[in-house]
Structure 1
Amino acid sequence: MTTPPTGAPDHTTGPGRDSTSPGRTRARTSWTSTRSRLAASSRRGGLLPGRDALVDAAFTVVLVGLALVGFRTDFAGLVWVLPAVAGLVLGLLVTHVTTAYRLPIVAPLAAVTVLYLLLGGPLAVRRDLVGGVLPSGQTFLDLADVSVHGWKRLVTLLPPVDTGSGLLALPLIVGLLGGCVTYAVARRWSSPYAVLPAPLVLLALGIVLGTLEPAALTVQGAVFAVLGIGWMVARAARTRAPLQNGAGQRTRYGIGAALVGIALVAGYVVGPLLPGAGSTTRLVARSHVVPPIDIAAFASPLAGYRKYTEPNPSALWDTPLLEVQGLPAGTPLRFATLDSYDGAVWGASERANSGSLVPGAAFQQVGEVVSTKGPGRKVEVQVSVPEGGYGDVWLPTAGTVAGVKFEGRRADTLAGRLWLNIDTNTALVPDRLEPGDRYTFTAYVPPTQEKMPTSLPIDQSSLADEIDTSFLDAKLDAFTGDAADPWAQFTAIAKVMASEGAYTDGGTENSVERYYLPGHSLGRLARFVGLAQLAGNDEQYASTLALMANRVGVPTRVVMGAITPDSGPVRGQDVHAWVEVRDSQGQWVPVLPGNFLPDRNKKPKELQTKVEDRKVGALVPPPAGVNPPSVLQGPDQAQNATNLKKPPKKLFDPSAWPWWVQWLAVLGLVLVALTALYWTIRGLKAWRRRRHATRGPTASRVAWAWADLMASARSYGHRIPRRSTRLEQASAAGGPVDLRPLARSANGHVFGPGEPSADEAAAYFAATTAARKDLRANADFWRRLRSDVDLRPLFTRGPAKVKAPTRAATPDTPSPAQPTPVGSM
């Protein structure tokens, strides 16, 4: 480019600029050069980063890393660190390479997507890998599913989540996108403030996805704020013009330090006075997400107790139900803890305990590891279901559950739909256990106390205040006698039941005991305590004892399960119901059936059974108006339970396809998405170009047409200076296409004395369109593709609106040069 002769107009100033002040021009030029230094450093084409790039990379790593610390409370241990750090580093490297080679911003986003699919398997999912390294079709499906639905599963799972859930892909996603977007903004935009929104969004995301326990309060608060301000200050120093008033670097640093000090003092003083500052409850997503589980859809196991007794049509009395190894003999094996009574049935409630990490959620999805600890020693128990054995939704466990791992052909299905109430330690699998299912649970099991303690400090309250149980008062007075404190009254009730009551399972079909019906509704229990002699089985005795205990202020709940035998499998004869009492420390103390249940061989008196024969109508409890919570209609759960299994797999279920079909499906979806994105970008650029060519003043249309042409030339790889005249830009374009006639024509239309006509503006737009086609024809395939997907023309700021000249053109005024067709150049 030749230097303009002396006296020639300075095109670098542009119309309307003051070129008479050398000092002001030098300051403006220095300001322009320093502001463009950041963008120019990323367009040199080299992979070796400069000082500014290293500073931006360091701040990106630190700030995004601090935001990723929010996952600490979501996952068990430090397993989340590897995918999070790997994602951050890979996102940073990919963005650096694509920025160094001046690729559009869509390039690093596409690259991190590919890296997520290729490396997400070994880094996060770690299942269904080919050779333990290469991803399979199922791996791709799992990664895609986690990227869409994993966020909801994370906030509904009981924290901390274990590695087997597949949700480690979420820290990988956040690390990849966080490193990519933050560093890309830092290297492509010179604004000091543009770099902070992305890390702030990541920080807020980590808090929202976290728990009520802060991950790192000081680090994510004060340290993040100080580093963020420091980064903005460092970037602002790059674009600061040289000062002419003598103010030096020390002065600026002093002013900055003083401002930071004022901000810290103001935050310390004013912060506690802001709205919400005095609240101790964090706002997290899991506090406002209701887990998608309806406990009322599952029958209470106590309603079907009689199917385990003898005689019974189910014939489960001597049938092996469960094979249990690792649990000491005599230890209670819990099916379900039933802590809610509605007048019809004892069922599992949906209320959460006060110390839950997820307020309002009782049953929460869990993985293989549960972050709990209880009294007793830690045991590992193996459970398997033999043929014809246990088949219910309630998962047998013991003690304080610390983890469950499934095995067998349905391991993934059961593990993905395991729910646990950490207050009652009741586990639930809606798909039901089936013969052949195996699982291992880890639990803290205290020593079994077969006898009740003589004294126990209890937490005096009631779990059944809403139900009218005044019909028990007559028996309470007779059972408690002179006992004064609530625990003494409780033990007195249990002893009277065991010594004076009778046991019956309903007898045979022709037995007089058949009139002792199953159930534990208010009607059935009123008949139970209304007789001269109590007569029933575990269902009636445990239910009545729990209601009487709550009546005298002893918080008591019912547990349905089995007592582990000395040897052999758990059979129907080992199934029992017992109660648990809450002490003053909040612990639940089991009271086993041997403390309140009469001997099985002690049958009801014959005279009483004959009386009941005449009162058979009175023994039938009235039908319930609606289904009570946690119970299905009918006492026999095996005959009336709703089919809760998943529907069979269909032809369009991707998980049932062969792996190569899954690969082809994923590849097809990716190609369709990329094609749609390609034509969407091209269509938006064409729409924007046409819009500016047909609206506004005609001189502005011409200026916009030239600006759009220069944006296209840049996307084809031409180095077009931004702050220069049109003739200088046309000369810089070079190549086989001469754009200087179009530049002269644009200058004539814009700076001429008259406003160009609409036809002249349309003709100029047609000429620039032809020139754009010639530029495309002289570019190779990859440059054309890069230009097609380049998003920069969509966000390029066009020239300022050109106003029409106030004076009319005279015959002596030369007309603007007409555009010359590029093809004839």
Structure 2
Amino acid sequence: MSASPLAPPRESMMPTERTRADRIAGLRTTLVPSRDDLVDLGLTALLVGLALLGFRTVFFGWEWILAAVGGLLLGLLVAHVVTAFRLPSVVTLLGLTAAYLLLGGPLAVRDHLALGVFPTGRTFRDLAAAAVHGWKRLLTLLPPVDATVTLLALPLIVGLVAAAVTYTVARRRSHGYAVVVPPLAALALTIVLGTLEPASLIAQGVAFGLAAIGWMIVRSTRSRAPLQNGAGRGARLGIGTGLLALAAVAGLLAGPHLPGTDGDLRRVARTEVVPPFDIAAYPSPLAGFRKYTEPNDAKLFDTELMRITGAPAGTPVRFATLDYYDGGVWGAGSRAGVDSPDPGTAFQQVGERVSARGEGKPASLQVTIPEGGYSDVWLPTVGQVTGVKFAGGRADLLASRLWLNVDTSTAIVPDKVGAGDRYTMNVLLPTKVVRDTLPASLSPASGNLTESQELSFLDAKVDAWTRDAVSPWEELRAVAGAMRNDGAYTDGGTKNSVESYYLPGHSRGRLARFVGVTQLAGDDEQYAATLALVANRLDIPTRVVMGAELPEGGVIKGKDVHAWVEVQDDTGSWIPLLSKTFLPDRNQKPNQLQSKTDEQKIGALVPPPAGVNPPSVLQGPDQAQNAVNLKKPPKKLFDPSSWPAWLRFLVFYVLLPLLVLVALYWAIRGAKAWRRRRHATRGTATARVAWAWDDLMNSAKSFGHALPRRSTRLEQAAALHRLPSANSLAVQANALIFGPGTPEVSDADAYWKSTNEARGDLRANCDFWRRLRSDIDPRPLFARGPETPGEGRRTLPSFATLTRRTATP
């Protein structure tokens, strides 16, 4: 049968076609991993994957897994290609950078992709910002972090770098123990960035240790020949398996009893890092309570502050929980409670989702702020917050600046919420709320939030109110009943009325006047502040809440704003005691003004004024403001914060990286030139000649020429097909080194000149990219020196040897 005219015989193929086919076959042979390569790939993926498991407690959802696994696979791919073609390590760095920038968008930062796939300028900025500033921001965010934020780039970076470095070390270092160092570093990093809750003790402890030991055994076995009878490999395998089993059993049995396994001893970075947030910079809303009353200059009493849908009427809406009294004001504390997942900090930044804590009925609430309504840094919340999503023109700004205290469900937005802002809250509605009267019995916790304060001015009044009570809770009920039944309500009246005598505030001096007269007279501010101090005086942990009670229809006005207290029961839950349980009716006005005699008695009880303003102090509308210079310093030319966005991007993300790369390029070239010049001018003439040949061979390797290892100079010269003078230079070097007599210095100088000319020929026969690769290849700096007869190894040490000698005691 005749051959098809469409398929020419093998003999008729053109030389160009054969060359292309051979090139493709050679490329396939180079890239296909061997059995040892596959083993190293699998164990690299296993160890780095176990290290990345530490992010399980740091991020919400499954999106972080996609970023981490994507980074791991990309790192393995880049490292395999670089090691297969024996490219310099700097190519690995460039490949990882390109993979991160090009594929980091689809894997981690997907908000601003073009067509949902291609990265944009905003994507590059987010990736660069995450790589530089993301580590610190991760430690200041409340874990688990919402997976929709750009910080998903961090698992991608760890997986990318750890996998690439581990596999590169495995393929380029024959030592069996060096391969476990990079995954161990990745494991330590994920633990440091993690939480107080371990991700998995079995996976990151036992499994990681077994895999690491097994890999070291496998690599050590490769470099050893079997014993005489051929059974050595099996014997070593059995011994290794036994050791692994013994280590696993010992770890499982003895591990839980070793030092450091106690949860109280676990230390992570986020418990030691103080977030860049100062709660003392934000005034307590309780001190400004009267702007919601009538009459007042703000005229908010009958003004719509906000509209809330999704919650039943009567639900407490929290503006702020105030759990710290400094003698001047009830304010938000700057430390978290002992039950907090991160007890080092109170307020932490959060994303759209927050880990649920406590019990309650799940609900989704919509909050809308109308024109002329609520405007403050304190974000109104309900119950336990499990998620906040903003809408409107300032959604991105508010979302990026949301801070939350999970212990108190108090949220702050430093840029203030105001007219036109909208947000959706996912919450757990409270189930324990005391609305009208206090229960006859309750089991409160024991503790005091005001231990350092002098509150003896309350004792006389409390003793008079609690004569028949036998328990702290009964005493608190008696105090609340006396306030409600015998007290009077006043907001200070109009400017010239007789009630203007009753000033706002709840400092020790103001509360001493409040309790020091025959009839209590004040508003929610004084009553709630006093009741909370009395409860703590009775050893019942109590805090003040500023907020509103949701009316029918969900429209909150100024008249719905109140202050109440929360007490902690013996289960650790905080129970709201709403204002009706201790506040007199608004229509119950004071019977008479304080007499001069009462005023003189009270004056002796007022403590001296504080020398400095306490934290979280807000003077009310009728009080003087803090003497703080609020003017911003003038912007300077060299202050990057005053530059436009395009200039900052050009300087920090274009010019600065280019300058770093250029500086690195010339640093490597300069170091190699210095090393070449040093070996050409120092040592004996024989050593100089030997160094000249070795330096030429190192340059040839940098240009991409494959030279046989542990070969003679003539064999190396035969492999340099593109350098005709290589053979004569090898013969000349052998003659000078091994010939009779000792060469002169002039002979060594002439030989260096010849090798420099040969190096120039090598460079001229290469394309631009090979020359660039040779220029930035750092391997010649650490190459081992030559041996010369009768002199031992090199007369001048290499950089690597100098480092070893310095480190050797």
Question: Could you state the TM-score of these two structures normalised by the residue count of structure 2?
Answer: 0.88
Report the equivalent of 2:786. 799
> Aligned residue for 2:702?
715
1:313 aligns with 2:297: yes
Q: 1:703 pairs with 671, 690, 694, which one? A: 690
Residues 521, 621 of structure 1: 8 Å contact kept: no
Distance across 1 between alignment mates of 2:527 and 2:299: 23
Identity of aligned residues (%): 61
Q: Which residue of 1 is the match for residue 340 of structure 2? A: 356
Match of 1:238?
222
Give the C-alpha shift of residue 133 in structure 1.
2.2
Within-5 A mapping of 1:223-302 = 223-241=207-225, 243-244=227-228, 248-260=232-244, 276=260, 280-302=264-286
Q: Does 1:150 align with 2:134?
A: yes
Q: CA deviation at 1:109?
A: 1.8
Q: Distance in 1 between matches of 2:735 and 2:584?
A: 110
Distance 1:323 1:365 in 2: 25
Q: Which amino acid aligns with 1:768?
A: T
CA distance in 2, matches of 1:472, 1:676: 71
Give the residue type in structure 2 aligned to 1:395.
L
Tell me, in whole angstroms, the C-alpha distance in 2 between the residues paired with 1:98 and 1:441. 50
**Counterpart amino acid of 2:541?**
P
Q: Which whole-Å CA distance do the structure 2 matches of 1:95 and 1:492 have between them?
A: 75
Residue 667 to residue 637, structure 1, CA distance change in 2 (3 Å): farther
Note closer, same or farther for the CA distance 1:628–1:376 as it changes in structure 2 (3 Å cut): same
Name the structure 1 match of 2:750. 763
Once structures 1 and 2 are overlaid, which stretch shifts more, 245-254 or 143-152? 245-254
The one of 279, 289, 309 aligned to 1:325: 309
Q: How many residues align?
A: 764
CA drift at 1:621 = 8.6
Give the secondary-structure state (helix, strand or coil) at the position aligned to 1:606.
coil
Q: Is the 8 A contact 1:515 1:619 kept in 2?
A: no
Alignment partner of 1:523 is 2:509: yes
**Separation (CA, whole Å) in 2 of partners of 1:104 and 1:282:** 41
In structure 2, what is the Cα distance between the partners aligned to 1:307 and 1:557? 22
Whole-Å Cα distance in 2 between the matches of residues 273 and 762 of structure 1? Answer: 68
2:385 match: secondary structure? strand
CA distance in 1, matches of 2:537, 2:722: 96
1:720 aligned counterpart, secondary structure? coil
Q: Which moved more, 1:272-281 or 1:135-144?
A: 272-281
Q: Which residues in structure 2 correspond to 1:162-561 (within 5 Å)?
A: 162-241=146-225, 243-244=227-228, 248-260=232-244, 276=260, 280-447=264-431, 448-451=433-436, 452-561=438-547
CA distance in 2, matches of 1:381, 1:278: 40
Distance 1:72 1:636, change over 3 A: farther
Give 1:64 deviation, angstroms: 0.9
Q: Deviations over 1:651-693 (max 9, x none)?
A: 966996469x958974555544433333332222222222333
Match of 2:71 in 1: 87
Deviation of the 1:455 alpha carbon:
1.3
Q: Could you tell me which residue of structure 2 aligns to residue 678 of structure 1?
A: 665
Which amino acid is the alignment partner of residue 538 of structure 1? D
Q: Is the alpha carbon distance of 1:641 and 1:48 closer, same or farther for their aligned partners in structure 2, counting shifts above 3 Å? A: farther
**Residue 149 (structure 1) shift:** 1.1
Aligned residue identity for 1:793: P
SS at match of 1:567: coil
Show CA shifts across 1:384-423 (max 9, x none). Answer: 2222222222111011111112222222222222211111
Q: Which whole-Å CA distance do the structure 1 matches of 2:371 and 2:608 have between them?
A: 37
Amino acid at match of 1:201: A
Shift of 1:609: 7.3
Pick the aligned partner of 2:720 from 733, 738, 743.
733
Q: Quick one: which amino acid aligns to residue 462 of structure 2? A: L
Name stretches of at least 5 consecutive residues in structure 1 with no aligned partner: 1-40, 806-825
Tell me which amino acid in the other structure corresponds to 1:326.
G
Deviations 1:501-556 (A, max 9, x none): 11111111111111111111111111111111000000110111111111222221
The letter of the residue matching 1:595 is: T
Letter in 2 for 1:329: A
Give the direction of change, closer, same or farther, for the CA distance of 1:170–1:414 in structure 2 (3 Å limit).
same
8 Å Cα contact 2:210/2:248 also seen in 1:
no
Kindly tell me: are residues 267 and 222 of structure 1, through their superposed partners in 2, closer, same or farther at Cα, counting changes over 3 Å? closer
CA deviation after TM superposition for structure 1 residue 757, in Å = 3.7
Q: Is the 1:380–1:440 Cα contact (8 Å) retained in structure 2?
A: yes
The residue type paired with residue 415 of structure 1 is A
Select 1:581's aligned residue among 529, 545, 567: 567
**Which residue, 125, 129, 134 being the options, matches 2:118?**
134
Tell me the CA shift for residue 490 of structure 1.
1.0
Q: CA deviation at 1:374?
A: 2.4
Paired amino acid for 2:222: R
TM superposition shift of 1:120: 1.4
Matched-pair contact (CA < 8 Å) for 1:309–1:573: yes
Change beyond 3 A, Cα 1:244–1:636: farther
* Residues 737, 788 of structure 2: 8 Å contact kept: no
Question: Could you tell which deviates more after superposition, 648-657 or 588-597?
Answer: 648-657
Aligned residue for 2:364, secondary structure, equals strand
User: Counterparts of 1:647 and 1:587 in 2: how far apart (Å)?
Assistant: 46
C-alpha contact 1:306 1:636 (8 A) present in aligned 2? no
Q: Residue 574 of structure 1 aligns to which amino acid in structure 2? A: D
Partner of 2:765: 778
Aligned to 1:745: 732
In structure 1, the partner of 2:802 is none
Amino acid of the structure 2 residue aligned with 1:298: Y
> For the structure 1 residues 754 and 632, does the alpha-carbon distance in structure 2 shift closer, same or farther, using more than 3 Å as the test?
farther
TM-score normalized by structure 1?
A: 0.86
Q: CA contact under 8 A between 2:378 and 2:413: conserved in structure 1? A: yes
The separation in 2 between residues aligned to 1:803 and 1:414, in whole angstroms, is 76
**1:100 Cα offset (Å):** 2.4
State the Cα RMSD in Å.
3.1
Question: Contact 1:713/1:775 (CA < 8 Å) preserved in 2?
Answer: yes
Range 105-114 or range 796-805, more displaced? 796-805
Q: Retained in 1: the 8 A contact 2:61–2:147?
A: no
Q: Is the 8 A contact 2:320 2:410 kept in 1?
A: yes
Letter in 2 for 1:327: A
Distance 1:55 1:637, change over 3 A: farther
75-84 or 535-544, larger mean C-alpha shift: 75-84
CA distance in 2, matches of 1:344, 1:665: 46
Report the secondary structure of 1:601's partner residue. coil
Worse-matched range after superposition: 484-493 or 727-736: 727-736
Deviation at 1:249, TM superposition (A): 2.4
1:822 aligned residue:
none
Q: Give the direction of change, closer, same or farther, for the CA distance of 1:188–1:450 in structure 2 (3 Å limit).
A: same
Residue-by-residue CA offset, 1:134-181 (whole Å, 9 max, x unaligned): 222121111111101111111221110012321111111111112211
CA–CA distance in structure 1, aligned partners of residues 244 and 364 of structure 2: 55
Cα displacement (A) at 1:613: 9.3
Alignment CA distance shift 1:664-1:484 (3 Å): closer
SS at match of 2:205: helix
Aligned pair in 2 of structure 1 residues 613, 274: CA closer, same or farther (>3 Å)?
A: closer
Asked if 1:111 corresponds to 2:95, the answer is yes
- Residue matched to 1:61: 45
1:35 counterpart residue number? none
Q: In structure 1, how many angstroms separate the alpha carbons of the residues matched to 2:602 and 2:255? A: 73
